[in-house]
Amino acid sequence: MVSRIINVVISPTGESQIKTEGFTGPRCREATRDLETALGSLKDETLTTEYHLSPVEQTSIAERNDVVR
Amino acid sequence: MSHLVNIQTQVRDTAAISAACSRLNLNAPIHRTAQLFTSEATGLAVELRGWRFPVVCQIETGELKYDNFGGKWGDQIELDRFLQAYAVEMVKLQARRQGHTAIEQPLADGSIRIQIAVAT
């Protein structure tokens, strides 16, 4: 089972960077929404490949890799 | 990783302000009207180490009112430390409020990382 982690790095001058790991699809945004609001104002956001995957697509990719082996 | 956001910290939580002051061994913040050099400001007044005037946290807006005359009346590093401490305590408070565990770790460049395990 993939662990779902939110990593927050706070710089020496107080800016925060929030990264999510182990989430797929828009659930990562739901998981961090309250934290982002509580901390301050959004400066910028980057969505990665995993954001655009659904849990079904991730499972299919894993199964195909097993078959190739 | 699935998404990454950068946040400009705004000081808006009373509990996190108090926790930050405690973390830095500062006096507890007091809600009052404080005199700055040429003006007054009302809010939670935080006395930073070596600063002539307090930093006033206006939690309704997240704005900080202060007067350090470009560093001559107070070292910017102290304000930076306070902002970092506030953000750290805010993250830990928020994690606790949502029932998650949070682990804090200092990094070599002076940043602080907090890892939150999200309950499935």
Please give the average per-residue pLDDT across B28-45, as a whole number.
94
Task: Dump pLDDT digits (tens) for A13-58.
Answer: 999 999 988 887 777 788 888 999 999 988 888 877 665 665 555 5
Q: Do A28 and B110 touch (CB under 8 A)?
A: no
Rg from Cα positions in chain A: 15
* Tally of residues, chain A: 69
Q: H-helix or E-strand containing B32?
A: strand B30-35
- The tokens for A43 are 């400066």
The pLDDT score that the predictor gives to residue B104 is: 97
Three-state secondary structure along A2-56? CCCEEEEEECCCCCEEEEEECCCCCHHHHHHHHHHHHHEEEEEEEECHHHHCCHH
d(CA B74, CA B50) in angstroms, rounded, equals 6
User: In a 10 Å sphere around its CB, with 0-12 CB exposed, 13-18 middle and 19+ buried, how is residue A31 labelled?
Assistant: buried
Across the interface, of B9, B98, B110, the residue whose CB is closest to A34 is B98
- Asked whether the beta carbons of residue A11 and residue B110 sit closer than 8 angstroms, the reply is yes
For the stretch B91-108, pLDDT in tens is 999 999 999 999 999 999
DSSP-assigned beta bridge partners for residue B8: A41
Most B CBs within 10 Å, among A1, A5, A16, to test the B interface: A16
ipTM rounded to 2 decimals: 0.90
The amino acid occupying position B30 is I
Of A14, A20, A24, nearest to A33 by C-alpha is: A20
